[in-house]
């Protein structure tokens, strides 16, 4: 599945789930749908999948530990579904492809980098990264240390060229490389 499809989690569907007679079934249904969505997202966008996985885990832990009621967990899961949908639509709003959004998220994972550089500059870096890394990846680049080092140097050069904050670069390079590993099978094929 190329693009995650949250249309099943539309407002009409979510209000129908909210109105189900058996609230525990509704909660389990939402949990299953969100976990499936996260599984798809984890193959495309590292940062989003980690963020939403953490939120889902926190919500479900509260529910399983009886800290929140079934109605509250349903509302929190519905809110999480809406956040996921908004994250998917954000790429179109930014004018970026799904791959570019994944790299944009990797660069913006550190909030201070986003404040310092701004969305426009991060979009430019993400677009350049996707182009250059895609050209440089080979089928076995994740296995050969020399190829990994070449990509790492390429990423650092691009970040330096655009003035990415030096104190945040190491974490950004690591995240960008992890993101590239997720997408490289598709690119090399």
Per-position DSSP letters for 29-78, written without gaps between them: HHHHHHHHHHHHHTTT-HHHHHHHHHHHHHHHHHHHTTSS-HHHHHHHHH
Q: Decide if 147 contacts 140 (C-beta within 8 A).
A: yes
Per-residue pLDDT in tens (0 to 9) along the chain, 189 residues: 344 445 566 777 777 888 888 888 889 989 999 999 999 888 889 999 999 999 999 999 999 998 999 989 999 999 999 999 888 888 888 899 989 999 999 999 888 888 889 889 999 999 999 999 888 877 677 677 888 888 889 999 999 999 998 888 999 999 998 998 888 766 655
Q: What is the pLDDT of residue 4?
A: 45
The full set of domain ranges for the chain reads: 7-92, 98-188
Whole-model pTM over 0.85: no
Rounded to the nearest 10°, the torsion over CA 175, 112, 78, 57 is: 50
Q: What is the pLDDT of residue 1?
A: 38
CA–CA dist 43, 136 (Å, integer): 20
């Amino acid at each position: 599945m190329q693009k995650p499809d949250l249309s099943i989690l539309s407002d009409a569907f979510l209000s129908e789930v909210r109105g189900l007679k058996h609230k525990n079934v509704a909660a389990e249904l939402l949990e299953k749908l969100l976990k499936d969505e996260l599984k798809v997202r984890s193959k495309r966008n590292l940062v989003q999948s980690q963020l939403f996985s953490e939120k889902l885990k926190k919500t479900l832990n509260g529910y399983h530990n009886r800290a929140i009621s079934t109605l509250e967990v349903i509302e929190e899961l519905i809110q999480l579904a809406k956040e996921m949908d908004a994250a998917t639509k954000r790429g179109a709003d930014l004018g970026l492809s799904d791959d570019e959004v994944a790299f944009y998220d990797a660069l913006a994972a550190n909030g201070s980098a986003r404040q310092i550089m701004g969305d426009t500059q991060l979009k430019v870096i993400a677009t350049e990264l996707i182009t250059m890394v895609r050209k440089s990846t080979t089928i076995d680049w994740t296995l050969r240390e020399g190829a990994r080092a070449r990509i790492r140097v390429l990423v650092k050069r691009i970040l330096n060229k655009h003035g990415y904050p030096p104190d945040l670069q190491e974490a950004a390079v690591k995240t960008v490389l992890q993101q590239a590993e997720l997408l490289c099978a598709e690119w090399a094929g």
